[in-house]
Amino acid sequence: MKTVSIFGTGNVAFHMIKAISLLKNFQLHQVYGRNEKNLSTLCDQFCFEINFTSKLADIEYADFYLVCIKDDAIADFIEKIAHPNIICMHTSGSLELLNKNCRNAVFYPLQTFSKESDLNYAEIPFCLEAENESVLEEIIEFASAISDSVHKISTEQRRSLHVSAVFVCNFVNHLYSIGEEICQEKKVPFEVLKPLIKETALKVQQISPKEAQTGPAKRNDQKTIANHLNGLSSEQQKTIYQLLTNSILKNYG
């Protein structure tokens, strides 16, 4: 039985605690958080008891340290907790592999985490990087215990995935927000758009987004495009509509 400690109190930490609690061969050892209140709020959400601390001095030995804190705090923090016998992983999509002469690694889960969502951990892609093969093997074993989607990924590839994720998750969600704004303006329930949102995401699980493209820009239907632009009341929305329409026109023109 190997032990894992979690560092951080955010959504990634929450789901990693949950994921580890379901494993047979890995056990949660300790949870560390700088902020006592956030830490106890996090640990109180679980039905099992958690050994937690907010003091650096009380951090105990474990086989794996999984650091789920903000990117700009990771380097300094890992400097403090690094230990020659402990595999210390960060979960950042953009940060390099740190402290190469310790047993450090990258353990990047490519998913959007919120406490509201029940995630199927077996489906989460874990993008792994390590200084050497022996560390890599150990983190592959850990990641494979959680998920069926484990990938050895270079720093450069991980950074590309991270920026892609901004397009397909953060920006996509912003377009959902704009859809909701338009609905609110005309007092149409946003509910009505939800099946379309779901189906649009499910479609590209089967076919390439290039093939899945539909809509007035794809058809070069200038009349509908002009009507839509006319109907939008916000300049911001118009600018986004125009830019994305032009981008689709360029790709399919």
Which residues in the 172-191 window bind a copy of itself by CB under 8 A?
172-180, 182-183, 185-191
**Residue selected from 96, 169, 220, 226 as contacting a copy of itself according to rule CB under 8 A:** 169
Do residues 87 and 140 lie in contact, with contact meaning Cβ atoms separated by under 8 Å? Answer: no
In 110-181, DSSP assigns E strands to 126-130, 150-152
Three-state SS at 107: strand
Cα dihedral 16, 19, 23, 29, rounded to 10, equals: 30
Closest CB 162 distance from a copy of itself, rounded Å: 8
3 binds a copy of itself (CB under 8 A): no
- Residue 116 found at the interface with a copy of itself (CB under 8 A): yes
| First CA to last CA distance, the chain | 58
DSSP H or E stretch at residue 2: strand 2-7
Q: Is 226 in the site for a copy of itself (CB under 8 A)?
A: no
Contact with a copy of itself (CB under 8 A) among 144, 198, 220, 226: 198
Name which of 99 and 149 has its Cβ closer to a copy of itself.
149
Q: Are strands 52-53 and 64-67 parallel, antiparallel or unpaired?
A: unpaired
Residues ≥6 apart with Cβ < 8 Å to 61 = 83, 85, 86
Range 52-81, binding a copy of itself (CB under 8 A): 71-72
Q: Single out the segment in contact with a copy of itself by CB under 8 A; choices: 75-83, 96-104, 129-137, 231-239.
A: 231-239
Give whichever of 56 and 169 is closer to a copy of itself, judged by the CB atom: 169
By CB under 8 A, residue 253 contacts a copy of itself: no
